[in-house]
Structure 1
Amino acid sequence: MAAASNFVASCGCQMRIGASIRVRDSCSSSVDSLNPNRRIRVLARREGKGQFDQLCINNSKRKLSQNMRCLCTDMALVNQRVLQEHAISKPTGLLGYELVQGNLVQWNSFMDKSVPDPPTCVLLHGILGSRKNWGSFAKRLAEEFPLWQFLLVDLRCHGDSASIKKSGPHTVSSAALDVLKLVGQLRLTPRVLVGHSFGGKVALSMVEQAAKPLARPVRVWVLDATPGKVRAGGDGEDHPGELISFLRNMPYQVPSKQEVVDSLVHQGFSLEVARWVVTNLRRNAQQNFSWIFDLNGIADMYESYEKTNLWEIVENVPRGVHINFLKAERSLHRWALEDLQRIHAAEELASDEGAGVQMHVLEDAGHWVHADNPDGLFRILSSTFRIETTLRGIRGG
């Protein structure tokens, strides 16, 4: 796949926060209360509008200005300084995304194509999630590894990508191809792919489908998912398929989030999952709430997730690819003994072929690894960024 085009991904906007602030914009991209010492950039694409807003923060007056338009970024937090470039037409159907950059990253897509992009990690959410699931975790990584940038993606039918009409079928494979096209259009060459649950299979499918724009070496993290049969639900946990089915039978518009929470709990779903699901409700013009995802498309995606078998790429790992599986300690039903044995067998085989497969266990965590034990997950993932930084011979992090 060509690593693309003249597409404009971002301004060269530097963020320097002098005080703790909270920002919320009309397209629901958000920045939480920020550490006064934090210095990162967050660049985000607006939800399928074909146009990008630029939010400017003047730290001395703390006023928000939305009166500047450009086609390069929809959210840039800056300190009285915005570097603008010429607007360039963009391809249609681009996924919603955010690019979180460490403070030593000096790159944007306007640069000469001969200038290498900084090491990039792509973070992919699971079914019924969004790129927001990775927001705070990505910012933490960017602080620890300031030479890296982190691309957070809304997969098709989810978040800001739900308003983009994608042709079917809605599958693991098509979701992976969407992300490959996105990184190509942004002129990025990912060094690390991290996917949770459904996103883990998407990451594996990306490796299966393309040599470029994936780098060699590339490190893949599959968080609490196996390459083949999906064993979801059990031990009192919520079954995603049942949850999707229940949500599809609810009205598209609801008067309050609490009403949805109550309905889900009454149906037997956990309070934690009910509260998480309603983060996908957004207030509409009628002052009701409506879903920001395409539930019909998501139902197809989940069916594909259950059926897709990617053992072939794990048992025949391409040279220069290292696949890491992370099993949540309390997520027992998802991992059959045969899965673990097969992964351990692949470990030995891959090491003989100049590739790698490795199994990890995250203690004190259920399926929602980045919420249950973010510190433990951070420690495990950090090794990858340190190794890659050393291999590339760059300082920092």
Structure 2
Amino acid sequence: MFPTFRFLPPRLTRLPCQTRGLARVTGHIHGSDVVPVELSYTSFVPENGNATEGPLVILHGLFGSKRNWGSICKALHRDMPDRPIYALDLRNHGTSPHVKPHTYDAMARDVEKFIEEKGLKDVALLGHSMGGKTAMAYALSTKERNVPPGTLSKLIVVDIAPSIGSLSPEFKKYTEAMQKIEDLPAGVIKTRTDADHRLRAYEEDMSVRQFLLTNLHLPSHSRTAKHDGSPEKAKFIVPLSILSHSIGDLGSFPYQYNAEDNTVPVTWDGPTLALKGTMSAYINRKNIPALNAFFPNVRLEELDTGHWVHAEKPTEFRKLVVDFLNQ
């Protein structure tokens, strides 16, 4: 996995689920009923044993995982030793189940299941990019799903807005490139360097390629054949077939903002912190009205970064988060 995020340059801002434009109709986008799954997670529990009161729950972005947040979680644990911290793998990422559909409604249901089964109270929910949209979807669904009062207390959204539009075209290009690597005969891809060489035809930025390759599982040197005797192939740990068919869903959002009269079907009125990278366009003048409408108690802060706010300015990011949670 990526050893740390702090070396990611601002140019990687165009990778995770960028959307363009805003819908002009209002209402909730109802999908088919989904069955929530049990999410994999990493926890940091205070010495006093408190695992349920006032936790910080962290949701990663597209192609990310809980392990990408390991260093930040450890630092936040030092900053807030009495607050439990949970970093989750969203569905179809990390070691969580691979299952359809890959929608924000489904991911929000998974988070709801996790919070409920762990008995968490007074939760602060933090999400980056795809995880940020998931966090917003969960917050906005708490009323209609009768989530007990006091379950969610604070919301932190990192460089994403509740907008609806087309997913950045690079997403499709990357999934196609990764699928082509998986389709290669066994023995062709033996190292990450081999895979990186194949990705160069689709992406010139090495940092983007490195990020994508954090999801690559290479054949074991000690076991080169599967149980049926066929040789192992390099494979990505994320289900590319599911994600490639979820392009429209990842560009969407469960609730629609009416730009003509600045109205929304539901709001979440709790304290909300939105963190924007000044060199990123994910939060912009066109979608800030939607952010304010859905979350009337939002405070927008900016850091001199690209999309990876928490990675490019980790110390400043942590200070904003800790100060917000301690208010």
TM-score in terms of structure 1 length: 0.62
Amino acid in the other structure paired with 2:274: F
Give the structure 1 partner of residue 303 of structure 2.
362
SS in 1 for 2:39: coil
Give the structure 1 partner of residue 242 of structure 2.
297
- Of structures 1 and 2, the one scoring higher in RCO (CA 8 A, sep 6+) is 2
Q: 1:219 and 2:219 equivalent?
A: no
Give the structure 2 partner of residue 324 of structure 1.
273
Would the aligned equivalents of 1:176 and 1:205 in 2 still touch at CA under 8 Å?
yes
Q: 1:243 and 2:187 equivalent?
A: no
Q: 1:340 and 2:285 equivalent?
A: no
How far is the alpha carbon of 1:127 from its aligned partner? 0.9
Q: Distance in 2 between matches of 1:382 and 1:100?
A: 16
TM-score in terms of structure 2 length: 0.74
SS in 2 for 1:184: helix
How far is the alpha carbon of 1:194 from its aligned partner? 0.6
Q: Distance in 1 between matches of 2:178 and 2:154?
A: 35
Matches for 1:6-85 after TM superposition, within 5 Å: none
Q: 1:138 and 2:86 equivalent?
A: no
- Please identify the structure whose Cα radius of gyration is greater: 1
Q: Distance in 2 between matches of 1:310 and 1:325?
A: 18
Give the structure 2 partner of residue 260 of structure 1.
195
Would the aligned equivalents of 2:41 and 2:86 in 1 still touch at CA under 8 Å?
yes
Give the structure 2 partner of residue 106 of structure 1.
49
How far is the alpha carbon of 1:305 from its aligned partner? 1.9
For residues 345 and 170 of structure 1, do their structure 2 counterparts lie closer, same or farther at Cα, with a shift above 3 Å needed? closer
The percentage of counterpart residues that share the same residue type is 23
Length, aligned pairs only: 274
How far is the alpha carbon of 1:177 from its aligned partner? 0.5
Q: Distance in 2 between matches of 1:360 and 1:230?
A: 24
Q: Distance in 2 between matches of 1:362 and 1:315?
A: 31
Would the aligned equivalents of 1:172 and 1:205 in 2 still touch at CA under 8 Å?
yes
For residues 186 and 208 of structure 1, do their structure 2 counterparts lie closer, same or farther at Cα, with a shift above 3 Å needed? same
Q: Which runs of 5+ in 1 are unaligned?
A: 1-27, 33-91, 109-116, 351-355, 388-397
Give the structure 2 partner of residue 189 of structure 1.
121
Give the structure 1 partner of residue 228 of structure 2.
none
Q: 1:206 and 2:138 equivalent?
A: yes
CA RMSD in angstroms comes to 2.9
Give the structure 1 partner of residue 251 of structure 2.
306
SS in 1 for 2:271: strand
How far is the alpha carbon of 1:101 from its aligned partner? 2.1
Amino acid in the other structure paired with 2:267: V
Would the aligned equivalents of 1:184 and 1:213 in 2 still touch at CA under 8 Å?
no
Q: 1:153 and 2:84 equivalent?
A: no
For residues 107 and 325 of structure 1, do their structure 2 counterparts lie closer, same or farther at Cα, with a shift above 3 Å needed? closer
For residues 183 and 302 of structure 1, do their structure 2 counterparts lie closer, same or farther at Cα, with a shift above 3 Å needed? farther
Which of 304, 319, 324 matches 1:379?
319
For residues 224 and 158 of structure 1, do their structure 2 counterparts lie closer, same or farther at Cα, with a shift above 3 Å needed? same
Would the aligned equivalents of 1:138 and 1:150 in 2 still touch at CA under 8 Å?
yes
For residues 343 and 165 of structure 1, do their structure 2 counterparts lie closer, same or farther at Cα, with a shift above 3 Å needed? closer
SS in 2 for 1:376: helix
Give the structure 1 partner of residue 17 of structure 2.
none
Q: Distance in 2 between matches of 1:175 and 1:217?
A: 16
Q: Deviations over 1:11-50 (max 9, x none)?
A: xxxxxxxxxxxxxxxxx9x999xxxxxxxxxxxxxxxxxx
Which of 165, 173, 177 matches 2:105?
173
Would the aligned equivalents of 1:125 and 1:131 in 2 still touch at CA under 8 Å?
yes
Q: Deviations over 1:62-89 (max 9, x none)?
A: xxxxxxxxxxxxxxxxxxxxxxxxxxxx
